Structures are given as C-alpha cells and as structure tokens.
C-alpha cells in the first residue's frame, strides 16, 4: 500500500495548535497566552505551522523565550514539519484592558509573609520586588553549589529574566569570582546598597565584594553571620527581579538555618555528587529543608562522570551516578546529571562562567521556570517587571 | 684506566654510618638513636652495611618504622650496596637507665596549656595522654579533608603509632563512613566515652556514631556546636595516643574557631585543590590559622589531576596544579600533590580507605612524623606509649 506523505501534513489542525498553545504560559504573568489574548493568528498547511503572538511590551527581553516555548509546544503535535512564530505588540488599548484584567488579583509591590525587620532576629523578611527566591543547598561542600547557582542565573538571564544572586556563604564566598564581578558596591541616595552587575547584567551581592582583601577570612561566630546574611538580603536594593538565587554554604548550622528562617524562600534546589558519602550528607540537608517546610524543587547531580578528552572513555571519577535513586529515595524530583568538564574550572577561575553552555542545565532551567511561572500566577505578585522597564 | 668497582665498596666507613644514624630519631622519644645508646653494632664490607639496633620494648609496634628509617638514612651514603638492619631488645637494666635519663625532662601524663574545663567556653583544654594533636583544615568544602585525614591516620597506624581521629565536622561528618566504623560508643566504668576502633585499630569519634539515623541533620546554632566539639574531645577517653587528627568542617566560623581556641593543637595541615577559587578560600583558612597562632605544618594539594584508565592521558579536571605556588605565596611548606583516583571514592564509600596506598601520602606522613618527633622531644610529654602497652 502506498501512503502519500503529503496527505499526513494536511492533517495539522488549527484547533489542535490552539489547544497546545493553551499550555504555554507567559513567562512573567504565569497565565496561558491564550487566556491573555496574546495569540493573534494561527495557520497550518502541509505541516508548516505559523503562529503570531502579541507581546505586551515591544522588545520584551523575554520575547525569544516565549517564541521558543511556543515553537516547542507546537512541535509536540504529530505531523508538524516546521513552525514559524512571529511577534507583534499589543496596542495601548489592549494593554490597558489586560492591566485591568490582571490588577484585581495583583497585590502591591511590597507585600509579604512576615514583617520587614532586619537584624540578628529570626523573623521572616519581606519579598519586596522579588518574584521567586530560590536557595541552592547541598549540605556537603565542594559539590558545585556555586557553579549550579551561577549557571542557573546565567541561563535565566539569557532567557530574558531579571536575575540576582545572593552569596550566603560568608566564609567561603565563590559567587563574585565565578561570575567575574569585582569592585565595591555603593549606597544609593535612597540608602539601599546597590548590587554589582555581571557582564550580562546579573545583580550580585557577596561578602567578598565588601572585604578589602578577598583572601582574609571572616572569623565570625553565628550571631554575626546571621545578621550579615539578613543585611545582604534586606539592606540591598535588589529592585524588581524575577529570580533571586541564594547560594548557601555547606552544613546545616547557622548560615543555612538563617536563610531558611529569615528569607521568604519559594523553594530550594539540592545539589549532590555521586559519592555515597555525599548522598548521606545531602540527605541531611534535604531533611533539614523538609523540617523547615521549604518546598524542594528538585535534585541535581553534579560531577557525574568525566569523558576523557583523549580517548572519549567515560570515567566515574566519584563513583557511579546515583542521583536518580537518591532523589527517589528522598521523595524529590530528579532534575539531571551534569558531567565534570575541565572548562568549568577554567571559566570559573576566569570569572566567565556566564559563557558556559550545557543542554542539561538548560533543561533544568526550563523545568524551574515552568514551575516558577505557575507559582507566580498563584502568588500574583504584581504586574510584569518588563512593563516597568519598557515604558 | 680500569677501576675495580669492588674498590669503591670498601670505602664505606663505619664512622660515616654512625654519623648518618645520629640523624635518626626514635619515632616515639624524638631523640637520636645514637644518643639513646640504641645502636649496638655496625659493620660494613664491600658496600654491604649491617646495623644492629636495640629496641626499648620487644615487639615494639614501631620497630619496622625505625628499621626503615635506619635503612633509608644509611642508603644516603655513597657506595652502599645493601643495608641489613637487625633488632634486639634492651636489657631490663639498660631500660631502667634510659628511663632515668629521660625522666627528669618528662612531665606527668596529664599536663597542659590551660585548664581542664569543658562546656561552651573557649578556654583551652588539656592534652592528657595525647602527644600530637593535628587539625586538617581547608576553608573550602569538598577538597578531600576527610580523605587526607583518614589516609594520614591509616599510614601512621600502619607505621606502628597509636592514632585517633576526631571528626569535628558535625553537620557533614564523613570520618565514620570513610573508615568503616559503625555502632554506638559506650561509657567506660570511669565515665569517659570509649571511642570505636577501625579494623586496623584507629580510634574514631564522630557525631554520626551518636545519632540514631545518620541521614538526619544536626540543626544546631554555634554555641551547641562548640559545646559538642569540646565534649567529643574532652569527654572521650582517648587514652595514650601518638597522634590525634582532627577533621575540620569547611569555613572559618564556629566549628573551626572552637577547635583553634579550645583544643591544644600542635599544628594544622592545609588541604587545597587546583582551582583558583579553592586557593582563594584556602588562603582564608591559612590566614585564620596564622591569626590564631597555630603552626602550619604544610599544604597538600588534592585532586591534582586524573590519569585516564583507558588511554593514560592526564586531565587537569580542576585546572592546572598550583599547590606549590600557593604554598609558597602563603609562606608554608608544600607537602605534595595527590591525584584523583576512582578507587578513592569507591574505598571511601565501602568504608575501606585504610586499604588505600599511595606513595605521595606516605611521603607526607614521613615528613609529618619527622617534624612531630622533633616536637615530642621539645615537649617531653612523658615516656613512650609502647612502654605502657608492652609491660
């Protein structure tokens, strides 16, 4: 029997495309682009699909991310040969209507769980203009928390989000070096500390930016550590951010405890390495997060294996990968396994980790922003940041 | 011109051998074996050297180490073809004379800098029967402090020393797992906690041996951490030890500070890894040790490179080795660079790290015990432990 392939292409149905688009959320507003009336045109012929999307803001930094999301969603349909996504911009009238639609559910820009006090206390601080605060934890040192934190930040920034990184590791601060930030933060006329920015625009705050000599230790006992972490969050003018990532030190003592108790965390990402030894200590951190009622977004295994640059042979330098089993035994999602790569150490040492690219990390970020987008809708934390950036 | 090789052999002079032996210290007493009248016979013919040494105790566990030291010292002479070292035992009369000779300088077995108090204070605790207390520090997590600590312990134990390991990392305790120790420590009739022992007899104390579930975190703030570290040292009946190694957590906050302030440390060994990032944080720990006036015995670089098991190619997984430069810039001795090896993770996960062998680590231990032996003489901390073990 002969089947003409062209027959199959004709079967792509505009209604099926619309159905798929219903699952695509605006990366900022966290609602379906169909509900937001952003889908303006759909056509399909011979398996070639065309979609036109109306952006809320011209040159929105998230436009490319939204286009990619639309394309990926449509590609999931059978018989699709190509997808073309074009964008236009909403008219002023359309935008006003959308604002009206969103406004009722949206709270003021400085709402929060808990009071706004700062100091050595433990009461939870407010969220102000930050949408999602995510801590990267491990319990174990040296598994690559700072690498994962800065990669998540880099990929989110590349996707068009406003991102900040708070380095809560006061005694082993790595973030400023890995992200290539130096210089001293200054105080704004309003009194807040202005964080420094990386080449791509990630806002960074770390104790090492405040010290005169980054090789000098901060020999501080717990109460001072706690107070300083609270200040790095509250006294810093983070402005409007989609994501504030918090890099935690190893352990389950003062610094992590302060972050869990004082910062309004939306979730944590757990980093492990393949050693049994690491699993045991990572379990401690996960159990701590559970005790403190912080949602665990998932577990990433780092340093999973090394592919020899000479012969291509894979070596399990730290033992066989067991991230998936560990995640399932702890009852958390497994987000992926990142291999060892000498380029990581080199780019970290050169302060150029933003240049690193890895499909596994991109997958983790996609997972993360989908979850966060849903959460944003739930939290209804105000209007999209892009609206205030682009007047 | 014909030179008969046998002529050269005849040149080994008994006096030169004796001169070399003057540099060999009794591994326990820390004085020259010549001064201690332990050298009983020297003969040399045709480059074949024979030495007879009188041990203070028959079947002394350190006999083999002393024999190896004698052999290595004699081999440094030109024209030596072979070295044979035999041992005998001192007579009761000779031993009594030696005890008399040593006694005047030797203090009681429980002397100390500082008082004997325990609790959340910071006053320095006493040394009791422990000769050398050495902390392994890094500042940075995940560089292999616990691996280095347990390997030093294993090689020292193999050499015949009495060794204990105190795991001062309460939130990420690795020692019990790496050394394959499980079970609960019990209280002796005298009230002290009896540490557990590894297969080869190393005494071990770790918070994980006390917890009911090793995957549960200790979510403690500084003051409790401090009090528990002091108890792990003071409330434990360590008995007579040549070496107590203390494995520190990363950071420069409460736990390391307590160890520096409360324990009568004889020195620290610093562990780094090749990343610049690690160098920066390791520098913080070294500067902390300097501030606290603790002698720094030297720096070990771990994870220096990986030799591919497939093709033998060397990969600088974490960047090019820079331990030697780092040590020199910090003004401390460089002790050696240990390569990555998948066997390390495997043996650590199986609790069999005592079986691991590596010539670099053996070299580090030799350096360490030479320094410690000299220090023992200086401290004159009582009579050799072997004398009390072997009646």
Of A285, A310, A315, the CB nearest to B217: A285
Residues 366-385 of A with CB under 8 A from B: none
User: Is residue B112 scored above 90 in pLDDT?
Assistant: no
Query: What is the tally of helices (H) and strands (E) in chain A?
Result: 13, 15
Residues 287-316 of A with CB under 8 A from B: 287-288, 291, 306, 308-311, 313, 315-316
Tell me: do A238 and A94 sit in the same domain. Answer: no
Tell me: do A202 and A141 sit in the same domain. Answer: yes
Instruction: Over range A247-272, report the average pLDDT.
Output: 94
On whether residue B3 sits in a domain, the answer given is no
In this complex, do B219 and A291 lie within 8 Å of one another by their Cβ atoms? Answer: yes
Instruction: Over range B74-98, report the average pLDDT.
Output: 91
pLDDT at residue B9, rounded to an integer: 46
Of A217, A310, A315, the CB nearest to B252: A217
Interface test with A, best of B256, B308, B326 (most A CBs within 10 A): B308
Of B250, B315, B345, the CB nearest to A172: B250
Put simply, whether A148 touches B (Cβ < 8 Å) is no
Residues 6+ apart with CB under 8 A from A93: none
Q: What is the ipTM of this complex?
A: 0.84
The minimum CA-CA distance between A184 and chain B, rounded to whole Å, is 18
Residues 195-214 of A with CB under 8 A from B: 214
pLDDT at residue A370, rounded to an integer: 81
The minimum CA-CA distance between A87 and chain B, rounded to whole Å, is 43
pLDDT at residue A389, rounded to an integer: 58
Tell me: do B29 and B145 sit in the same domain. Answer: no
Tell me: do A207 and A314 sit in the same domain. Answer: yes
Residues 6+ apart with CB under 8 A from B211: B218
Q: How many structural domains does chain A have?
A: 2
pLDDT at residue A106, rounded to an integer: 43
Report residue A233's pLDDT band, with 50, 70 and 90 as the boundaries: very high
On whether residue B228 sits in a domain, the answer given is yes
- Residue A80, CA distances (Å) to A6, A46, A47, A259 in order: 11, 8, 5, 47
pLDDT at residue A382, rounded to an integer: 60
On whether residue B316 sits in a domain, the answer given is yes
User: Would you tell me how many other CB atoms lie within 10 Å of the CB of residue B133?
Assistant: 23
User: Which stretches within chain B are classed as H helix?
Assistant: 5-9, 14-22, 63-75, 92-102, 145-158, 175-178, 222-234, 254-262, 276-291, 323-330, 342-349, 359-379, 385-389
Q: Report d(CA B35, CA A57) in Å as an integer.
A: 89
pLDDT at residue A120, rounded to an integer: 57
Interface test with A, best of B168, B169, B343, B345 (most A CBs within 10 A): B345
Stated pTM of the model: 0.86
User: Is residue A116 scored above 80 in pLDDT?
Assistant: no
Contact between residue A364 and residue A301 where contact means Cβ atoms under 8 Å apart: no
In this complex, do B311 and A316 lie within 8 Å of one another by their Cβ atoms? Answer: no
Interface test with B, best of A150, A217, A322 (most B CBs within 10 A): A217
Tell me: do A97 and A134 sit in the same domain. Answer: no
The minimum CA-CA distance between A138 and chain B, rounded to whole Å, is 10
User: Is residue B165 scored above 60 in pLDDT?
Assistant: yes
Contact between residue A54 and residue A40 where contact means Cβ atoms under 8 Å apart: yes
The minimum CA-CA distance between B349 and chain A, rounded to whole Å, is 5
Tell me: do A257 and A327 sit in the same domain. Answer: yes
On whether residue B250 sits in a domain, the answer given is yes
DSSP 8-class letter at B335: E
User: Is residue A30 scored above 90 in pLDDT?
Assistant: no
pLDDT at residue A38, rounded to an integer: 93
The minimum CA-CA distance between B144 and chain A, rounded to whole Å, is 9
Given B63, B80, B101, the domain boundary residue is: B101
Contacts of A291 in chain B (CB under 8 A): 217, 219
In this complex, do A345 and B280 lie within 8 Å of one another by their Cβ atoms? Answer: no
CATH at A55: 3.30.300.130
Instruction: Over range B284-313, report the average pLDDT.
Output: 94
On whether residue A6 sits in a domain, the answer given is no
CATH at A248: 3.40.50.300
Report the chain B residue with the minimal C-alpha distance to residue A254: B221
Tell me: do A145 and A247 sit in the same domain. Answer: yes
Report residue A49's pLDDT band, with 50, 70 and 90 as the boundaries: very high
The minimum CA-CA distance between A269 and chain B, rounded to whole Å, is 17
> What range does the domain containing B291 cover?
130-389
Tell me: do A94 and A35 sit in the same domain. Answer: yes
On whether residue A115 sits in a domain, the answer given is no
Q: What are phi and psi of A241, to 5 degrees?
A: -130, 140
DSSP 8-class letter at B164: E
Tell me: do B169 and B209 sit in the same domain. Answer: yes
Tell me: do A180 and A236 sit in the same domain. Answer: yes
Report residue A137's pLDDT band, with 50, 70 and 90 as the boundaries: very high
Residues 208-267 of B with CB under 8 A from A: 214-223, 225, 249-255, 257
User: Is residue B85 scored above 80 in pLDDT?
Assistant: yes
Report residue B6's pLDDT band, with 50, 70 and 90 as the boundaries: very low
On whether residue B191 sits in a domain, the answer given is yes
User: Is residue B368 scored above 90 in pLDDT?
Assistant: no
Tell me: do B214 and B155 sit in the same domain. Answer: yes
- Residue A215, CA distances (Å) to A161, B139, B332 in order: 33, 11, 15
On whether residue B5 sits in a domain, the answer given is no
pLDDT at residue A114, rounded to an integer: 41
Contacts of A214 in chain B (CB under 8 A): 280
pLDDT at residue A8, rounded to an integer: 45
Contact between residue A357 and residue A348 where contact means Cβ atoms under 8 Å apart: no
Put simply, whether B172 touches A (Cβ < 8 Å) is yes
Tell me: do A168 and A241 sit in the same domain. Answer: yes
DSSP 8-class letter at B289: H
Choice among A113-117, A250-254, A304-308 with the minimum mean pLDDT: A113-117
């Amino acid at each position: 029997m002969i089947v003409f392939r062209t027959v199959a292409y004709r079967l792509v149905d505009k209604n099926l495309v619309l159905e798929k688009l219903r699952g695509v959320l605006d990366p900022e507003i966290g609602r379906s682009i169909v509900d937001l009336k952003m889908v303006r045109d759909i056509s399909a012929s011979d398996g070639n699909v065309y979609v036109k999307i109306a952006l809320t803001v011209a040159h929105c930094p998230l436009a490319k991310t939204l286009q990619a999301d639309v394309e990926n969603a449509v590609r999931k349909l059978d018989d699709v040969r190509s997808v073309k996504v074009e964008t236009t911009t909403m008219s002023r009238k359309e935008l006003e209507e959308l604002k009206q639609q969103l406004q009722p559910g949206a709270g003021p820009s400085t709402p929060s769980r808990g009071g706004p006090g700062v100091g050595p206390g433990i009461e939870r601080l407010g969220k102000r203009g930050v949408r999602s605060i995510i801590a990267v934890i491990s319990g174990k040192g040296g598994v690559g928390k700072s690498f994962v934190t800065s990669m998540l930040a880099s990929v989110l920034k590349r996707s068009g989000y406003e991102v900040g990184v708070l380095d809560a590791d006061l005694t082993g601060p790595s973030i400023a070096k890995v992200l290539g930030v130096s210089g001293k933060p200054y105080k704004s006329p309003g009194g807040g500390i202005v964080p420094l920015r990386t080449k791509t625009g990630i806002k960074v705050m770390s104790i090492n930016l405040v010290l005169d000599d980054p090789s000098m230790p901060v020999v501080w006992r717990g109460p001072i550590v706690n107070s300083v972490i609270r200040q790095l969050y509250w006294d810093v003018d983070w402005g409007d951010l989609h994501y504030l990532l918090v890099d935690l030190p190893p352990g389950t003592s003062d610094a992590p405890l302060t972050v869990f108790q004082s910062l309004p965390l939306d979730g944590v990402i757990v980093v492990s390495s393949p050693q049994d030894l690491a699993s045991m200590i990572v379990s401690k951190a996960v159990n701590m997060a559970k005790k403190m009622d912080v949602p665990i977004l998932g577990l990433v295994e780092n340093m999973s294996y090394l592919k020899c640059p000479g012969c291509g042979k894979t070596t399990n330098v730290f033992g066989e990968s067991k991230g998936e089993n560990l995640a399932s035994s702890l009852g958390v999602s497994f987000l992926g396994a990142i291999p060892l790569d000498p380029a990581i150490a080199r780019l970290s040492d050169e302060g150029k980790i933003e240049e690193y690219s890895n499909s596994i990390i991109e997958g983790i970020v996609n997972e993360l922003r989908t979850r966060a987008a849903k959460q944003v809708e739930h939290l209804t934390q105000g209007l999209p940041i892009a609206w205030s950036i682009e007047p």
